[in-house]
Structure 1
Amino acid sequence: MQVVRTIVWVLLLVVLLVFSAFNWRPIELTIWQGLVLETKIPALVVVSFLLGLVPMWLLHQGSKWRLHRRISSLETAHRTAVANAAAASPPPEPVREPVREPAHEPVREPSPSPADPAGERPKDPL
């Protein structure tokens, strides 16, 4: 973001220099009836630009400062609330699930294999 900002300011400066080179001539600016200001066109452009930019920049900086203060105060209040809640209540005890007995399924007798046509198998000692 800093690179983009730098590029914009450099381009603005180049445009101002080119404008100044082609318009460097004096003009008379009548401010009031008896007050006449003789100045160059580029000086008038720069002063007009700054008269528009500076108040808006100051307003932006003030808003940014106010929001930073507000955010920091909210963060501090949150940290304080969390610390008070942690100090006031003990940590919850872990929930233990009851131990379940393994389900006993009936033992299935395997079907006779082709190698054992009579279906004779050794008896299970249990």
Structure 2
Amino acid sequence: MQIIRTIVWVLILAVLLIFSWFNWTPVEVRIWENLLVETKVPALVIVSFLLGLLPMWLYHRGAKWSLNRKIVSLENAARATIAPVAKADPAPSPAPPPAAAPHPSAAPPQPESDHLKPESNTP
């Protein structure tokens, strides 16, 4: 795309140079009643071209800047929407290992204090 743009600008410059070469004559431009400017035709053409090009170029740059800001804003909003979903569903952690069960042949521990023993009726 850059090569096409360069070719177009080179062609415009070549046409402008050829036009300037063949039309290098002085002209009088009356701006107001008392103001008369004597200039060459190519200078008048170049100034007229720039006066027409500059406002449209500025409008184009402003619109492009505004649209780029909207695109960046929408991309950031999309990233913000996607990011919490990925973090909210983490991979499940492994289950803790089961507690060691006592061996079935082992006797339950006996209490050592006397007040837990059953009372006997011996006088």
Normalization by structure 1: what TM-score?
0.69
Q: Partner letter of residue 83 of structure 1?
A: A
Q: Partner letter of residue 45 of structure 1?
A: V
Shift of 1:91: 6.0
Structure of higher CA gyration radius: 2
The one-character-per-residue Cα deviations of 1:40-89 (angstroms, maximum 9, x if unpaired) are 00000000000011110111011111111110011011101111122223
- For residues 32 and 91 of structure 1, the distance between their equivalents in structure 2, rounded to whole angstroms, comes to 80
Q: Which residue of 1 aligns with 2:76?
A: 76
Q: Partner letter of residue 70 of structure 2?
A: R
**Aligned alpha-carbon RMSD (Å):** 1.4
Shift of 1:90: 4.2
Q: Which residue of 2 aligns with 1:38?
A: 38
- Structure 1 spans left out of the alignment, 5+ residues: 93-126
Q: Which residue of 1 aligns with 2:53?
A: 53
Q: Partner letter of residue 64 of structure 1?
A: K
Q: Partner letter of residue 78 of structure 1?
A: A
- For residues 91 and 63 of structure 1, the distance between their equivalents in structure 2, rounded to whole angstroms, comes to 45
Q: Partner letter of residue 67 of structure 1?
A: L
Runs of 4+ in 1 over 4 A off after TM superposition: none
Normalization by structure 2: what TM-score?
0.71
- Structure 2 spans left out of the alignment, 5+ residues: 93-123
Query: How many residue pairs end up in the alignment?
Result: 92
Q: Which residue of 2 aligns with 1:67?
A: 67
- For residues 91 and 41 of structure 2, the distance between their equivalents in structure 1, rounded to whole angstroms, comes to 73
